[in-house]
Amino acid sequence: MQKFAVVEEVMISNENRTLIQEFGFFFYKVDSAILDDMFQRVRSYFAYEEKAYILSNTKQSQWETYRTGPKIGYSKQKHKESYSYSSGYGNLFYDSYCSYMSQVSHNLLKNLDSSLLFTEYLETLSLLHYFPNQESETALKEHKDWGLLTLLATDSVGLEAYYQGEWISIPPKKDHIIVNLGNAFAFLNPDFHSPLHRVRFQKEKFSIVFFLEPKPSQILKNNLSYYDFILQNT
């Protein structure tokens, strides 16, 4: 059974580094008051019935985000509803959560591999509400993340990672977020890998996901921009 790295401070021990390299996922201790407050906001946002009408006209796809800029908006699917927000777009509460997670992710990036620092980043927040009574459905099909780091706060089980031929559950850990590495990170430092993962339903749950990516125009290496990297690998 995979042992998860639990990182309690900014400096990453050699043992944890080895576990992170092998698995691509780890736990990181964060300020629990910030998490609790954000979960309260997210639950009340999704309880607000008018949300779709107010926000749906600003919805953009992931591809539009890379082409034209940040995506902001509400969307509803069969098994879940979500709201995407880009750091700096005027919601003071979401901006303050983004700036906290931005600081956490930059510190982690610096400590995992300081050569991976860029001058401009895309920082996106995704708020998710997985509906109840959907057991056995795959809520988010298997995929890898594109960027550098993904910082997930979630209040229930459901996340699974593919490791040595089987899907293993990554349950939430109190006062910790779950961090995973993305494709750009693994491309730039092949000692690490970007893990395949999915979300399966167990029961209703809320998740708050912060994505750290280079801005699409940033050069990864050899004149290859992040945008070109995604195009070439899709």
Residues that bind Fe ion (CB under 5 A): 145
Name the residue nearer to Fe ion (CB basis): 95 or 145.
145
The neighbour count for residue 33, using CB atoms within 10 Å, is 9
Q: State in angstroms the smallest separation of the CB of 143 from Fe ion.
A: 6
Instruction: Give the Cα separation of 42 and 206 in Å (integer).
Output: 8
Looking up tokens 């749906």 gives 56
* Beta pairing partners, 197: 143, 161
d(CA 56, CA 34): 27
Q: Which two tokens stand for residue 67?
A: 């082409």
What's the N-to-C CA distance of the chain in angstroms? 32
Nearer to Fe ion, 110 or 143 (CB): 143
Report which residue's Cβ sits closest to Fe ion: 145
Q: Helix, strand or coil for residue 118?
A: coil
The helix (run of H) or strand (run of E) holding residue 74 is strand 73-76
- 54 versus 208: smaller Cβ distance to Fe ion: 208
Task: Output 104 or 115, the one with its CB closest to Fe ion.
Answer: 104
Helix (H) or strand (E) holding 84: strand 80-86
User: Tell me, what DSSP letter sits at residue 116?
Assistant: G
CA 51/CA 45 separation, integer angstroms = 8
Least distance (Å) between residue 197 CB and Fe ion: 6
Least distance (Å) between residue 152 CB and Fe ion: 8
Nearer of residues 119 and 154 to Fe ion, judged by Cβ = 154
Nearer to Fe ion, 121 or 210 (CB): 210
Q: How far is the CB of 180 from Fe ion (least distance, A)?
A: 7
Q: From the CB of 179, what's the least distance to Fe ion, in Å? A: 12
Q: Which two tokens stand for residue 207?
A: 């998740």
Could you tell me the two tokens for 83?
Answer: 């709201």
**Shortest gap between Cβ of 99 and Fe ion (angstroms)?**
22
